Amino acid sequence: MRKRSKYKPRPVIHDPLTYVMAGFKRIAPEHQTTVALRHHDAMHAMTHGAATWKDWNTVCGMINTAVAMSQTVFGNDYLDELKAAMNAHASCGRRFLDGKGLGYTGLELQAVNTAVEIITEQFKLITVSELENAVRVVEQCKRDQHFFASPNKAVTT
């Protein structure tokens, strides 16, 4: 039986100066559009009865990233609205796990649509390095199994 090593090689940055300078730039408009289309496509599927678990996870990642950006960059702005969206999205996922379809009630849809608008505006204001930090926060929460918008529990943070 072979020992499982915890060693994971770190990525090598071949041009650190360019990497650092890119972190200070705002996200390019074409990337903002790509991300917004991905989010709106998932929301369209969720609201038109064609949603899959992948669409649910896309919206989940969107809400989690919005919360992380709110906490790390924007000083907890709009955190109450995002928590309402997390609870609404978690309720939708819970219903799916209970054997029903992926869809929102009216109030849940309003809360999640508010989160979509918030993250769209956040993407216009943040830099690349701030987004990377927010993604790291979300990934760390996933590793610690402290999910924001989990279908297994309501939001407590």
Q: For residue 87, tell me if it sits in a domain.
A: yes
Q: Is residue 126 part of a domain?
A: yes
Mean pLDDT computed over 26-37: 91
Residue 6 lies in a domain: no
In a domain, residue 111? The reply is yes
Residue 127 in domain: yes
% of the chain at pLDDT higher than 90: 46
Host domain of residue 118? 28-143
Contact indicator for 46, 59 with CB cutoff of 8 Å: yes
- Quote the tokens at residue 103: 């869809």
Say if residue 1's pLDDT is above 70: no
Q: What is the DSSP letter of 7?
A: -
> Is residue 88 within 8 Å of residue 112, measured between CB atoms?
yes
Provide the number of structural domains found in the chain: 1
Determine the number of helices (DSSP H) and then strands (DSSP E) in the chain: 6, 0
What whole-number distance in Å separates Cα of residue 139 and Cα of residue 100?
28
Query: For 67-93, what is each residue's pLDDT tens digit?
Result: 999 988 988 888 899 999 999 999 998
